[in-house]
Structure 1
């Protein structure tokens, strides 16, 4: 589980004219709010809760499986602009920092001018509580270690009225689509490799048809929901299998279909399970090696492609970059005089 930036843990330090971001004792994605703490509402009246500003996910932890790699090389954003505090929360945080005398008089004085003394904000905008929230950068909780994870942060928080967007934001502004993209990071596709008959663990035989298939339970759609309680935003990202592509690892093989692309069946499965009665019939999905591997192996590859779409709050939705995962298996192929399946 990775750390998520919250207002209670962010301290801005001015050192030699540079703005540094230091975190400690971080909250974590999926943590429950403290007793008596509300989850937040879209009107800006949020109880003091780091959870209101965290992006949380369902399921809370990524399940076992393989991350989905986008075919286009696209990756979700490393950070974005989002609410980080109510006026009272920001006041408590900054006064705590100033009280430690660790950031220096000059920096503290400049901060007080900005947030307290009316240049341009007065008393942390507490008189306008409920009319807006303080915004700043928020790291994608799935990409905390990325070099760009802190690139959205600004030295001064922006006071943003409800329904408005922050002025001159650094990086994208959080939307249902941004949440959908962050959920993409937590998609895990099943670990089950394709089933082969004969098994890939056995020595294959020249001119003996190999059947390949996946049961529908092995390639079921996978969904992850991301939520940002402070804005009542959510998005569900779903990866749906589209088909299987086979590569024999040698040009001396026939693929079925010839393209190597095995489509998804109507029931959600891929290919067809081999039964003894099929004998050496050509499979709907599979391959036939036409020469031996001469004591070595051929790199048999099976790639499952996935279509990715999302739906979100406010009737939003769309498609994201399709992804794939490749299963590799070294197979040995022998040549014998007679063939029996």
Structure 2
């Protein structure tokens, strides 16, 4: 069968083949912040699933959804899919042979699609090589306990369905303690787990303290600062732990700088570029009585009133991100992350009385 036709047939065959999650890998459990949160790839109960769930812990979302931090690098993104351990040989044989028979009996499983199903069956039963993948004799049951079949997992947080389904290779065998074959570039790695931890990380909100608070005056400096609690280091961990394969990665976020956007062109930021760096472990300085005539290290001066309405002050806190993981000697940098928050500010004219 020509390769391009064979590829189409394989796609049709895999579309008919549904590997259901094993009984112990049913609906993922969600736990509260600070506890383990397990998530299985996929979102609709269909497709090929990995029994080895990614387990999240630390400062992660309670529901397993995408966190509240955005990468400062628009070209950076977490993996849309990956390959991970699925089942041991005996369990895989039971699951795969059942579903192959189901697929063969589906309407329309003739021609190229039917032939592809037959080739797939020979691949796992009769040591028949599939493209550049060696075949397996009786589903490798003589090696049960010595390794696992790996399969594709979709990242449910990836919005592009084509990217989610890009890991389309047949399940393949990996011996315990061995690396997956090099052609499977999307096999799960510590770096990928670090990216998934980044994606699910939940960081403290960025509410800037202001003085005056909420209502300020034209040409009067508004002091801005962040509470010291914001500067605590935040960590999120993602891990896969199955016999013969245990990897994890911890992503760490540290506050780096605050950028103020006044919400109007009739304003001046302090510093002029709107960026307030960390100085002596803090951003900005709390206002105190007697400092009315001083210039704040971080703040805004509005030059026109809001005419009875409000002006949206946007504050973006930038976090420095790094990760450590299995096999890594030290922290490795990742793109900075940002969290934005908007606060409504009322700007009033200063009232004066002429005598």
| TM-score with structure 1 setting the length | 0.78
Are 1:293 and 2:306 matched, yes or no? Answer: yes
After superposition, give the CA deviation of every residue in 1:207-234 in whole Å (9 maximum; x if it has no partner). Answer: 2211111112134322110001132100
Name the counterpart of 1:194: 208
Q: For 1:52-98, what per-residue CA distance to the aligned partner results, in whole angstroms no more than 9, with x for missing partners?
A: 61111104961599611111112111111222221122112123324
Partner of 2:141: 126
Counterpart secondary structure, 1:151: coil
Give the gaps of 5 or more residues in structure 1: 1-13, 33-49
Over the residues paired in the alignment, what is the CA RMSD in angstroms? 3.1
Partner of 2:80: 78
Q: Provide, for residues 112-171 of structure 1, a one-character-per-residue CA deviation record: whole Å limited to 9, x for no partner.
A: 3111122221011122234432122122354387542121132x21223342323532x5
Gaps of 5+ in 2: 1-8, 32-48, 129-134
The answer to which of 21-30 and 320-329 deviates more is: 21-30
Alignment of 1:115-154 (within 5 A): 115-119=124-128, 120-143=135-158, 146-154=161-169
Partner Cα separation in structure 1 for residue 10 and residue 246 of structure 2: 37
Tell me the number of residue pairs that the alignment of Structure 1 and Structure 2 aligns: 304
Structure-2 separation of matches of 1:266 and 1:16: 58
Counterpart CA distance in 2 for 1:223 and 1:304 is 17
CA distance in 1, matches of 2:316, 2:11: 52
1:292-312 CA-to-partner distances (Å, cap 9, x unmatched) read: 233444332211111110000
Alignment correspondent of 2:273: 259
Output one character per residue of 1:246-288: Cα deviation in whole Å (capped at 9) or x when no partner.
1222333232222221112333x32111122323421111111
Query: Which of 183, 190, 197 matches 1:176?
Result: 190
Q: Is 2:247 the counterpart of 1:233?
A: yes
Q: Secondary structure at the match of 1:217?
A: helix
Partner residue of 1:210?
Answer: 222
Cα distance change of structure 1 residues 125 and 24 upon mapping to structure 2, 3 Å threshold: closer
Number of the residue aligned with 2:70: 69
Which deviates more from structure 2 when the two are superposed, residues 297-306 or residues 133-142? 133-142
Structure 2 residue 280 is the aligned partner of structure 1 residue 279: no
